[in-house]
């Protein structure tokens, strides 16, 4: 019988379905809409309908809700890279790092 794997993440994940705008540069600049599945301070999982490549650099903007900020919603612009790609139920999902971020108005 398989043993459960210990949690390896060092930061807390929040299961959040947030709209997200992703800018992806692969043979040109592509801007697309997606949705998060979960978010942490170091990364995000995004569902989006495009063909990403592992290691690709991406930028994305999401709005963190009151439940997270404990104040007004805050828009955050992030830069990161694609770590992993998952294809499931005719949807493509990516796990991406958050290497840097800025709060925007």
How many structural domains comprise the chain? Answer: 1
Low-confidence ranges of the chain (pLDDT < 70): 1-10
The answer to whether position 8 is within a domain reads: no
What is the distance, to the nearest Å, from the Cα of residue 84 to the centroid of all Cα atoms in its chain?
Answer: 11
Q: What is the pLDDT of residue 86?
A: 92
Does residue 7 belong to any structural domain of this protein?
no
In a domain, 41, yes or no: yes
Give the residue carrying structure tokens 């290691």.
55
Q: Is 85 a domain residue?
A: yes
pLDDT, residue 42, reads 94
Q: What is the CATH number of the domain that holds 47?
A: 2.40.10.220
Domain of residue 60: give its range.
19-104
- The answer to the question of residue 1 being in a domain is no
- pLDDT of res. 90: 76
13 domain residue, yes or no = no
The whole-model pTM stands at 0.82
Task: Check residue 29 and give its pLDDT.
Answer: 84
Answer for the pair 44, 14: CB distance below 8 angstroms, yes or no.
no
């Amino acid at each position: 019988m398989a043993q459960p794997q210990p949690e390896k993440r060092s930061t807390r994940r929040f299961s959040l379905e947030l709209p997200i705008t992703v800018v992806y540069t692969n043979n040109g600049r592509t801007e697309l809409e997606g949705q998060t599945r979960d978010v942490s301070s170091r990364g995000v999982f995004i569902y989006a309908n495009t063909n990403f490549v592992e290691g690709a650099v991406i930028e994305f903007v999401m709005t963190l809700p009151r439940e997270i900020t404990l104040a007004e919603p805050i828009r955050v612009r992030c830069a990161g890279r694609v770590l992993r790609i998952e294809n499931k139920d005719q949807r493509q999902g990516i796990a991406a790092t958050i290497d840097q971020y800025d709060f925007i108005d």
